[in-house]
Amino acid sequence: MLTWLRSKIRRSHDVDETSAVAAANIESSFVSGKQERPRVCLIDVDEGIVEGLRSKGMNCFSGTLGSLVSVPNKGYESYHRTHDCLLNCRFPDNLHEYDVVVIDLQNKKTVEYDAHQHEHSHVTGHVQQVFMSAYPETRFDPRPAAAQVLGDKLQAFLGRETVCVILAAENDLVTYYPIKITSDGIKECDMIPLSLYGFYPDIPSMVPLKGIDTRVLIDTSSELGQLLRRHNASSKYETAFAHPIGWKERQRVESDDFIPLMAAMSGEAISYVHKRQKNCTFVFPVITDKKAFLIDLMERALPEWFPALFPYSTRFIWLKDEPYMLPNEEVLVREREGIRRAFEADLAKIDAQIDANREKHKYLHDLLTASGAELVASVQTFLLWLGFPD
């Protein structure tokens, strides 16, 4: 499967085309004048980025897991110690027909509590269900509950050749207290603990790490590698991920369906691509210039991996082939490739020299940190280095 994923960079593949949907509540999510494919659902992506992608011809729907709600819960003796809360998520009715879903989990917009926004407008039957926010809670987070709803909607999406992009954040866990309101009164239900990543049940194990020192693991021969390197210096991470382990010939081995793209300096993956059914899910850390990153990702990097999903972006990709290159372009491209290879070779050589030097003079650090026999050996080595006889 790893070979299959890497081959996506070099070859195109067929996807089933689906017919356009005529229903008004679905068509309203599309912007006239845009390319029909790919259909892109942007969840909690900043509106400036949404408009930037639309200006590039992308057919985008702007959705949300919901805003956090500042709830005015008071002390236990107050009449206002609890408030009813509803989800405020928004997803397209035909999400299963979309080609790309982008989910920004780093967006934590908060709004003030408005009682009118947390009342059912129309109730069918004799029961309505709400979540109870009670003191001492002062901020209701609807996103983990909405993530469960999103996960149900994504099931059919994952069964098609599609792409999911996740801008990762630390995993927020929320315990909800649902209540049922009936003509006979109010009934409290069992509490429900939910995760912000509830839409991604097969997510690799998360490692609670935060940091700013990052490195790119793929080279610049692909658009994605170039993109990650351009943004690496300004990246940080709020969580990391362990490489999934599976069984092969009765041995535990790392899964081939998981390719790390970036790592923390300690080695844990902070960005990766995960093959899930027919879907490929990309996870990225916190990127400072998110707008430039997502536009380049959608315009250049993803079309290189999935040309059939981006017919407009790849319609003239054959112009990059050697027979159609502009004057002098072939020479310049080869010169650039030579510079890149020489740079990577020199960098690898320097890295090897640094590692060897650290190993050679490791005893100097051991003088500060070691104890017992290890410290004695380090002192002996240090004295020999100063010129004292053995």
Residue predicted with more confidence, 359 or 146? 146
Q: How confident is the model at residue 27 (pLDDT cuts 50, 70, 90)?
A: very low
- The pLDDT-based confidence of 78 (bands split at 50, 70, 90) is low
What tokens appear for 249 in the block? 């010939």
The two structure tokens encoding residue 371? 């104890």
Residue 8 clears pLDDT 50, i.e. is over it: no
Q: In whole angstroms, how far apart are CA 270 and each of 92, 150, 198, 239, 242?
A: 29, 23, 19, 7, 9
Six-digit token string for 144? 């983990």
Q: Which span out of 6-20, 63-77, 87-101 was modeled with the highest average pLDDT?
A: 87-101
Q: Which of 33-37, 131-135, 154-158, 316-320 is the least confident region?
A: 316-320
CA distance 221 to 341: 10
Phi, psi of 164 (to 5 degrees): -120, 130
Q: Is the pLDDT of residue 329 over 90?
A: no
Sorting pLDDT into bands at 50, 70 and 90, what band is 25?
A: very low
Q: Which of 283, 265, 267 is nearest to 211 (CA)?
A: 265
Q: CB neighbours (10 Å) of residue 71? A: 20
What one-character DSSP code corresponds to residue 31? P
CA distance 368 to 383: 15
What does the pLDDT read at residue 123? Answer: 67
Instruction: Categorize the per-residue pLDDT at 317 as very low, low, confident or very high, splitting at 50, 70 and 90.
Output: low
- According to the per-residue pLDDT averaged within each range, which of 182-191, 219-228, 361-370 is highest? 219-228
Q: pLDDT tens across 194-221, in order?
A: 999 999 999 999 999 999 999 999 988 8
For residue 386, which amino acid is it? L
Residue 301: pLDDT over 90 = yes
**Segment 240-278, tens digit of pLDDT:** 999 988 878 778 888 889 999 999 998 999 999 999 889
Residue 77 has pLDDT above 70, yes or no: no
Residue 5 contacts residue 280 (beta carbons within 8 Å): yes
Q: What is the 3-state secondary structure (H, E, C) of 284-326?
A: ECEECCHHHHHHHHHHHHHHHHCHHHCCCCCCCHHHHCHHHCC
How far is residue 44's CA from residue 66's CA, in Å, rounded to a whole number? 8
pLDDT higher than threshold 80 for residue 323: no
Q: What is the C-alpha separation between 268 and 215, in angstroms, rounded? A: 11
Inter-CA distances, 267 with 213, 293, 314, Å: 11, 23, 35
Q: What does pTM read for this prediction?
A: 0.72
Residue 15 φ then ψ, to 5°: -130, 155
Distances (CA, A) of 308 to 58, 369, 370: 15, 57, 58
The pLDDT, as a whole number, for residue 84 is 87
**251 strand-pairing partners:** 248
Which tokens in the block code for residue 344?
């990577």
Main-chain phi, psi angles of 238, to 5 degrees: -110, -5
Burial class (CB in 10 A: 0-12, 13-18, 19+), 21: middle
Question: What crossing angle do the helices spanning 329-360 and 362-369 adopt, rounded to 10°?
Answer: 50
What's the pLDDT score for residue 181? 83
Average pLDDT, the chain: 84
Cis status of the peptide bond prior to 244, with omega within 30 of 0:
no
What CA–CA distance (Å, rounded) separates 320 from 325? 6
Confidence of residue 14 (pLDDT cuts 50, 70, 90): very low
CA distance 36 to 57: 9
pLDDT recorded at residue 362: 85
Distance CA 350, CA 300 (A): 32
Percent of all residues in the chain with a pLDDT value above 70, rounded to a whole number: 85
Q: What is the residue whose two structure tokens read 């372009």?
A: 329
